[in-house]
Structure 1
Amino acid sequence: MTNRVKLRYLCAISIFLLVMVMLWPFLSMMVFGRMGTRKRKVRVEMDTIAAEQKLNPTALRSAKQQTIYAVTCTYTRITQKADLTRLIQTLMHVPSLHWIVVEDSDKKTSLIKKLLENSGLKYTHLFAKNTAAIFKHIQTLNIALAWIRANVGPNEGVVYFMDDDNSYDIKLFEEMRTTKVVSVWPVGLVGGLLVEGPIECKNGRVLTWRLSWRPDRTIPIDMAGFAINTALLHQHPDVNFIDVQDGESQFLGALGLTRDKAEGKGKDCTEVYVWHTQTQKFTPGSEGEMLKLGPKYNPIIEV
Structure 2
Amino acid sequence: MHSIESSQIRGNHNWLKSLISFWGSLLLILQTISAFACLLAVTSATYLLNDIADLNTDRQHWSKRYRALASGKLSIRAGFMLAGGLLVGGFFFATLLSLQFTLALLAYLVITGAYSLGLKRVPLLDTLIIGILFTTRLIMGTVLLESSKPAWLLTFAVFLFFSLAVAKRHTEIVRAATSGSLSLKSRGYEIEDAPLTLSLGIGAALASLVVLMIFVLQEMLPGKAYSSPQFLGGIPIMLSIWLGRIWLLAHRGKMNDDPVSFAIRDRISAGLGVVVAILFLVAL
TM-score above 0.5: no
TM bracket, shorter-chain basis: under 0.3
Structure having greater relative contact order (Cα 8 Å, sep ≥ 6):
1
More helix by share: 2
Greater gyration radius? 1
